[in-house]
Structure 1
Amino acid sequence: MANLRDIRTRISAIKTTRQVTSAMKMVSAARLKKAQDDVDHIRPYTTRLIGIINDMVSAYPDIKINYTFPGRGDKVVLWVVASNRGLCGAFNSNVVKTVQSLLRTDLKDDYRKGNVEIRVLGKQAWKMLRSRNIAPHVLEEGQLVDPTFARISMLADEMIDEYDLGILKKSIVIYNEFINAAVQEVQVQQFLPISIPEVKRDKPISEYILEPNRQTIVDTLMPKTLRSLFYQVVLESIASEHGARMTSMHKATDNATDLIRELQLSYNKARQSNITNELIEITSGAEALKR
Structure 2
Amino acid sequence: MSFNSNSTSSIVRLNIGGKKFCTTVDTLTNREPYSMLAAMFSGRHTLCRDSDKGYVFVDRDGKHFRHILNWLRDGVVPNLKDSEYSELLREAEYFQLLDLMDGIKAALNKSNKRKEEEEMGTEMTRIDIIKCIQSKRVRFRGINLSGLDLSKLDLSAVDFSYACLRNVFFSRANLQCAKFKDVDAEASIFHNATLRECEFTGANLRGALLAGADLQSATLQDACLVDCSLCGADLRSAHLQTADLTNANLEGANLEGANLKGAKLTSANLRGANLQRAYLRHVNLRDADLEGAKLDGANLGDTIR
Which bin holds the TM-score, normalised by the shorter protein?
under 0.3
More helix by share: 1
Larger Rg: 2
More strand by share: 1
